[in-house]
Amino acid sequence: MSSTTNYESCQTWQEIAAEHRKSLQFPAGTISDDPQLSEWSQKANLDYTNPSNTRPGPSLSTLLQNDSTRRIWSSELDAVLDGLDATGIVELTRSGKAKVQDVVQHFLSRASIVHQATNCLSHFFAEDAIRRAKDLDDKRATLEAEGRLDELGQLFGLPMSIKGHMSYGRHGSQRGFVFDVLPDPSSHPLVRRNLATKQVELLASTQGRYVSENPVDSSIAKLLLENDAVIIGKTTMPQGVMHLDTTNNLYGQTLNPHNLALSPGGSSGGESALVAGGGSAMGVGSDIGGSIRQPCGVTGLYGIRPTTQRLPYGGVRSTMPGNEGVGSSLGPMAKSMRDVELFMSSLMNDRTRPWEWDHTVLPMPWRKVDGLLHGGRNESKPIVVGVMMEDGVARPTTPVRRALSKWVDKLSAFAAQSGTDLPRIELRRWNPRDLHRRAWDIIRSLYFMDSGKMFALLSKATGEPLLPLTQFILSEPYVRSATADLDADAASSADARKLDEMSYTESCANIRAREAFRKEFLQAWNERGLDCLLCPVMCSTAPRPGTIKYWGYTSVFNLVDYPGVVFPSGFKADAEVDGEFEDAEADGGQFGYARRDGWMSDFDKDNTEEYEQHRQVFDGAPVGLQLIGRRYKDEELVKYAELLQHIAGST
């Protein structure tokens, strides 16, 4: 993003957004002339309506046959790179079997195609990435001549992407608000016209500038660069980074490359679309309520939401600065479980030592834990796997029930075997009782203890509207109305602020409720003797844009700060097959689904009716599953996930 972009003459938020979008430039040779490639994205962005109510959209893979598109998509490395995960790519670049410049160009071309279909990029660094790739090739040649190839970074030459609110150089960072892209919002005529002086000062002191006069790298970007990765772009997020969808007034709607009628999830939906579409070898997302796990789950990716403070958070632009009611984590979004471990071990070790220069991270290197696929576990004690079929708030739709039921069948059959070389497992049903229902109430109250005032001010600053899913997450009774505090005349009134914002005593009460819940949750976990918990990653497959409101399958674990790994189940939504499953679905049983007897909640009703009224639209949507572990046992959790995937045979 150039700081010379002319925003000062923009009179409306629409003009600012249009001016900003001009900064997203792609090399001419990477733009397809096939109108079908961008047809669904254009349809989705006409007026933020769903691109389809009756049929699935095409997958990106079916749109690659056009001559123009195929020329851009293809390269001499196709036969080498296609099917490789990030770990395999790094093996090629570190060994010298592939030049970094060629690998980066391969992904840059594909990233452009993925963006044209899904609208997933907020920044594209083609020229910078090629320059860095050349420097890395030169670095390798020098180190090889000196016999020091062991000094190459663990992510050497890997084309990667990062979420849009992570600072990188002079490229700016955004959180899906139009306000974010103004180089100096406190001086912009539109902002000064819409806000009172004290409100402008509040935003200027807490929200930061989009463009820094000096290059600023977030801690995560710094670690990627130290490990010789190549950052090729930054990706879209929803307005305010608080949707399980990816729509904002800056860039519009992002779509799912598996089915362009659907969302790629959120808030790391730009990352999931780009990585799943093949435009980036690995991405970095953030997760405060499910924003790594849900997008990975609905696009067929692997990911981890680590325990908080395992990875450094410095330089990530927050929408709720200073609010520590719920911690956010950064983590990888990848094509394999070994990529997840490559990422974590590369960034958290005694060489990088991020805890010595970033106060947001704990001094906990990624530990090497023995794998479980070759007997790396005490044979006398089984691995106890909890199974949560539903959370008592919203019943999963049929594709999710089918996938989880098939997994449980395979795991149960394995648990009944004897004489296997693999560790024994024992399945135990997790009955959520009212825990997950109460968790949703508690975490909603913790997200916006300022009554959503900051969101409302960011919106009013440019006049951009709050989108429906933003309005939902800010809705009462969990978030009090901040209307009085937005009135310019009332902005200096202490009485007006007291009416809306939580008092210190109330905020402390919310934190006490969180801590009491964590204690209760741990006790329930220990009573079941669980090592890990298998459950859905959300109550549906990839949603149609703008329709997903319930986060409870992921946010409960943010509340208690348990790490979570997500992986493909190997199943996809299929209206015909799902109908057959419903006809044969057993009633009850230890791990079965009881026949429905009324709605569990409004979320349950809305979720089920959305699926039943549009079930054909979801065809082809991947179903991900989620495995949860104990706090700070992230390393063991990855090994449990590897074992369960091996047993279920869905790799």
- Vertex 445: Cα angle to 441 and 201 (nearest 5): 160
Q: How far apart are CA 412 and CA 426, in angstroms?
A: 8
Q: How far apart are CA 113 and CA 132, in angstroms?
A: 22
Question: Which residue in 163, 222, 234, 572 is the catalytic one?
Answer: 163
Provide CB contacts within 8 A for 641, sequence distance 6+: 337, 532, 565, 567, 627
Under a CB-based contact definition with an 8 Å cutoff, are residues 361 and 170 in contact? no
Provide CB contacts within 8 A for 27, sequence distance 6+: 108, 112, 126
* Chain-centre distance for alpha carbon 380: 38
Give catalytic status of residue 3 as yes or no: no
Under a CB-based contact definition with an 8 Å cutoff, are residues 397 and 608 in contact? yes
Give catalytic status of residue 410 as yes or no: no
Mark 417-429 as b/e (b = at least 16 C-beta within 10 Å): eeeeebbbbebee
Question: Which residue in 161, 167, 267, 405 is the catalytic one?
Answer: 267
Residue type, 334: A
Residue type, 445: S
Under a CB-based contact definition with an 8 Å cutoff, are residues 125 and 2 in contact? no
DSSP secondary structure code for residue 47 in this structure = S
SS3 256: strand
Alpha carbon separation from 415 to 530, 533, 628, 641 (Å, rounded) = 15, 16, 19, 16
Alpha carbon separation from 168 to 105, 206, 219, 315, 320 (Å, rounded) = 20, 19, 9, 9, 20
Give catalytic status of residue 549 as yes or no: no
DSSP 497-533: HHHHSPPHHHHHHHHHHHHHHHHHHHHHHHHHT-SEE
Q: How far apart are CA 79 and CA 67, in angstroms?
A: 19
List, in sequence order, every residue forming a beta bridge with 602; answer none if it has no partner.
Answer: none
Q: How far apart are CA 105 and CA 199, in angstroms?
A: 45
Pairing of strands 383-387, 532-536: parallel
Under a CB-based contact definition with an 8 Å cutoff, are residues 212 and 170 in contact? yes
* Chain-centre distance for alpha carbon 573: 21
- Closest Cα to residue 567, out of 247, 288, 340? 340
- Give kind and range of the element (H or E) at residue 427: strand 425-429
Question: Which residue in 219, 286, 291, 555 is the catalytic one?
Answer: 291
* Strand locations in 117-224 (E): 121-124, 159-163
SS3 307: coil
Residue type, 411: L
Q: How far apart are CA 117 and CA 38, in angstroms?
A: 5
Find tokens 């310019």 and name the residue.
488
**Burial of 367 from C-beta contacts in 10 A (0-12 / 13-18 / 19+):** middle
Please list the active-site residues. 163, 267, 291
